[in-house]
Amino acid sequence: MALSEETAPEPIPIETVEPARPAPSRRKLTLIVGPIILVWIVGTIGNLLHPTLLVNAPLLLIAMEPRFRYMILVAPKVEFLPFLAIALVRRLFADPFLYALGRMYGDSGVRWMERQMQDTIGWVRKIERGFGKAAWIFVLLWPGLLVCTLAGATGMRFGLFIALNVVGTILTTYLLYSAYDFVSTPVDWLNNLYSGNQRTILIIWVVMFGLWFLSRRLQGKGEPLSVKEVEKALAEEGANPTTSDGDPGGESS
């Protein structure tokens, strides 16, 4: 269950680098946040349509939403090399932009990303505690949204970040592909279930997903859908971004 803002624990202090001064202009923020929003939108569509994509276009499902559970289900349907190539590109695509967000906005970027993950706030706290002690392990094994933002905000060298991220993603992808050998029975059962009941599962999933998504939006949760929304949220977190001319960044450039 998600914690409300009133009951959420205080943020864990994290030693971050100073954010960019002046803060990024609207144009630069768009270049950073635009790809992140695009990934969120594409991933949401892929998650929504996964019953159909899993049966008819498994590699497209990985290209849109490479969640671990989908990758394991797709593994027995495709060859390893295209599986690796698509998963690698897709899983790495947004990470440099998340790093840049943390690097340019510092603690405010971390707090904003944290709020996007309030349904898993217990894990967020654990990540933040562990990151300060072993940042490279998190980037190597679990380079998710918050970890990539933390890497930038704490000043991890970009070259090291990319190297760890690529190696870890290749390793994780290989392990997920190989995991089918150990869980073939339940994976085959699920794939057969999807194949035989694709339309029914899709209808049920779309209804459930739609209600969940609408509920989150009405509560002010969920992923942002515009750069303006992100800019406002970052300002509320204390970033107060300004353009390179020193003017408030709220106006379109």
Per-residue pLDDT tens, the chain, 253 aa: give them: 333 334 444 555 566 656 655 666 778 888 888 898 899 899 989 999 999 999 999 999 999 999 999 999 999 999 999 999 999 999 999 999 999 999 988 888 888 887 777 655 567 777 878 888 889 999 999 888 889 999 999 989 999 999 999 999 999 999 999 999 999 999 999 999 999 999 999 999 999 988 887 887 777 665 656 777 777 777 776 544 433 333 334 333 3
Specify if 19 maps to a domain: no
pLDDT, residue 132, reads 80
Specify if 189 maps to a domain: yes
Specify if 100 maps to a domain: yes
Specify if 174 maps to a domain: yes
Specify if 65 maps to a domain: yes
pLDDT, residue 133, reads 84
> What domain range is 186 assigned to?
26-234
pLDDT, residue 67, reads 93
Specify if 222 maps to a domain: yes
Looking at the structure of the chain, the number of domains it has is 1
pLDDT, residue 214, reads 82
pLDDT, residue 140, reads 93
Would you say 88 and 173 are in contact if contact means Cβ atoms under 8 Å apart?
yes
Specify if 21 maps to a domain: no
**Interior/surface letters 74-103, b for 16+ CB within 10 angstroms, e for the rest:** bbeeeeeeebbebbbebbbbbbbbbbbbbb
Specify if 150 maps to a domain: yes
Q: Which residues contact 209 (CB under 8 A, 6 or more apart)?
A: 47, 48
pLDDT, residue 43, reads 93
From the list 52, 47, 134, 142, the residue with the least C-alpha distance to 91 is 142
From the list 67, 99, 62, 98, the residue with the least C-alpha distance to 81 is 62
Instruction: Give CA–CA dist 160/191, Å, rounded.
Output: 38
Would you say 252 and 51 are in contact if contact means Cβ atoms under 8 Å apart?
no
pLDDT, residue 242, reads 36
Q: Sign (positive/negative) of CA torsion 122, 236, 222, 16? A: negative
